[in-house]
Structure 1
Amino acid sequence: MSDATGVIHDIGYQRYTGPRLGRRQVFGALYGHGVRTVFGLGRSAKAKIFPWLVVAVVTVVAAGLTAVRSQIGEVVMTYAQFADAMSWLVIFFVAVAAPELVSRDLRSGVLPLYFSRPLPRGDYALAKLLALGTALWLLLGGPQLVMFLGAAFTTSRGLRGVWDELLDLLPGLLYAGLWAVVFASIGLLVASLTGKRAFAAGGIVAVFLMTAPVVGVLSIMPSRTVNELAFLASPSTLVGGVGNWALGDRLTQGRGGMPIGDFGPVYAVVAVLLVAACVSLLLLRYRKVAAR
């Protein structure tokens, strides 16, 4: 009986000697991948159809407004009003984008793989939220930039006219950021509740659209105070109320705007609390998901 001998095979494995990236790089990678996912970049042509169709629509509208303004010499729609006018498209954009960011991961069960690395549970949720918020801000801010460039190149007041346009653009971009933060917070929270994208999309649309009739009912109540606070009942009108208070004529063009009375600060506080509540619930949701 011969003694058994062992054989060592060298199959080429080597130790990793490169830099070991940490939490910041992981967060950045998740964020960048999230933004690309929203716009379908790096994915199939089918995944690109809807987001880029929406981008094309808002860009064409902005270009059309710019062309009309250059012909008649008057502002047809302010930068802030553009965000309000595109709110319906933003709702459906969120309804498609948010489930792509989180529902797919829930359904495919890859979250344990994410959390097996040195990635805090909250970082995953915050990276996805930041990605969706960035995409929404670009969706509304990009066309505003098109409007600004068109106005800047056609102004008859030289550098002074360009400067005035810039002063109008900046509040519009901030207002677009408010839309992005509120809608992204609500949309991602709803999408995180289910791994089925169709259910998540339907839930997001329902949250935004089913609250609109509540505003209508409250706005015709006999109490003036209830009328002025009615717009708190829907995310869209809540954002509009904050804009109406903060931007004034830049949003309303002297047309009165929403009848919120002296409750503008209340709208701002409620918007902040709504975003804070959605983010807190989102973090809590992923703390429970990761514990499974």
Structure 2
Amino acid sequence: MSEPTGVIHDIGYQRYTGLRLGRRAVFGALYVHGVRTAFGLGRSAKAKIFPWLVVGIVLMVAGAVTAIGSQIGETLMTYAQFADSMSWLVIFFVAVAAPELVSRDLRSGVLPLYFSRPLPTADYPMAKLLALATALWMLLGAPQLVMFLGAAFTGNDMGAVWDELLDLVPGLLYAGLWAVVFASVGLLIASLTGKRAFAAGGIVAVFLMTTPIVGVLSILPAQAANQLAGIASPSTLVQGVGIWTMRDQVITDPDALGPDLGAFGPVYALVAALLVAACVALLLARYRKVAAR
């Protein structure tokens, strides 16, 4: 009877001896990857079509507005008005980007792998939320910079450039408000399902189907209901905050009074803050539930 024999093969497995970067590096990697994913970078050519089509449209509009304004010597659109006019494109951008950021991971079941590393449960959704908000801010902010550069090069002196810069800063802040509100609502909805089509449809439905509610409330006999109608939809809620904080930039036509907020301007700002806080709290609760499975 032959003795059993065995052979040990050295296939080169070694312990990792490199630098362990820790939580901050993991969060940063998730954030950077999220921003790239929102614009389709590092993915197939098909995935790049829609986000870069939207980018091309907003830049083309900004360039056209700047060129026409410089020819006629008038401001066709302020920075805040540009953000308002692009809100429909932002909705569809969120509907495509948010499911790519979170729904794909839910469907493929890779979240347990993320949470098996030294990554707190809250870091994953917060990195994704920050990435989506950054992508939306860039989507609205980059065209505003194009408008600023066009206005700056056609200015008569440095005083005109400084005045233009003072108009740009509130416009960028306003774009940031759009980005934070839309990212919070969109990512929360996308986190509820692993099917991207369902997530995209849900996001579009929430943003678009709340608009008729605003219309109904705005024609009620009660004046308070008319003035508070805008809080029923994320889009009009953001516009209400803009009208309250920078009315001269949101409504430049003296003959167009715009929505009457009455004394409820601070209410719009409070509701916007509460909406973002509620969405973030629900998003964190959602991922605590996912991590507990």
Sort the TM-score into its range (normalised by shorter chain). Answer: over 0.9
2:144 match: 144
Report SS of the residue matched to 1:249.
helix
User: Which residue number corresponds to residue 104 of structure 2?
Assistant: 104
**Per-residue CA shift, 1:212-263, capped at 9, x if unaligned?**
0100000001111110001110000000000000112022114323211111
CA distance in 2, matches of 1:62, 1:76: 10
1:73 is matched with: 73
The whole-number CA distance in structure 1 between the counterparts of 2:24 and 2:258 is 43
Partner of 2:291: 290
Return the alpha-carbon distance in structure 1 between the equivalents of residues 192 and 6 of structure 2: 54
Code of the residue aligned with 1:259 in structure 2: it is: D
Which letter does structure 2 place at the counterpart of 1:180?
A
Alpha-carbon offset, residue 11 of structure 1:
1.7
- Report percent identity of matched pairs: 78
- How far 1:3 moved relative to its partner? 5.1
- Residues 171-180 or 2-11, more deviating: 2-11
Alignment match, 1:54: 54
Q: Which residue of 2 aligns with 1:230?
A: 229
Q: Given residue 141 of structure 2, which amino acid in structure 1 is its aligned partner?
A: G
How far apart, in 2, do the equivalents of 1:111 and 1:47 lie? 22
For each residue in 1:47-73, what CA deviation from the matched residue of structure 2 results, as whole angstroms up to 9, or x when unmatched?
A: 000000000000000000000110111
Residue 188 in 1 paired to residue 181 in 2? no
2:43 maps to: 43
User: Counterpart of 2:128 in structure 1: which amino acid?
Assistant: K
SS of the aligned residue for 2:122 comes to helix
* 1:263 paired residue number: 264
**Could you tell me which amino acid in structure 1 is paired with residue 149 of structure 2?**
L
CA apart distance, 1:165: 0.4
Residue 45 of structure 1 aligns with an amino acid whose one-letter code is: A
Shift of residue 290 of structure 1?
1.3
> Could you say what the CA RMSD is over the residues aligned between the two structures, in angstroms?
1.1
CA distance in 2, matches of 1:162, 1:131: 31
1:4 Cα offset (Å): 4.6
How many correspondences in the alignment? 291
The residue type equivalent to 1:281 in the other structure is: L
Structure 1, unaligned runs of 5 or more: none
Quote how far apart the aligned CAs of 1:2 are: 5.8
Q: In the alignment, which residue of structure 2 is the partner of 1:90?
A: 90
Name the SS of the counterpart of 2:261 in structure 1.
coil
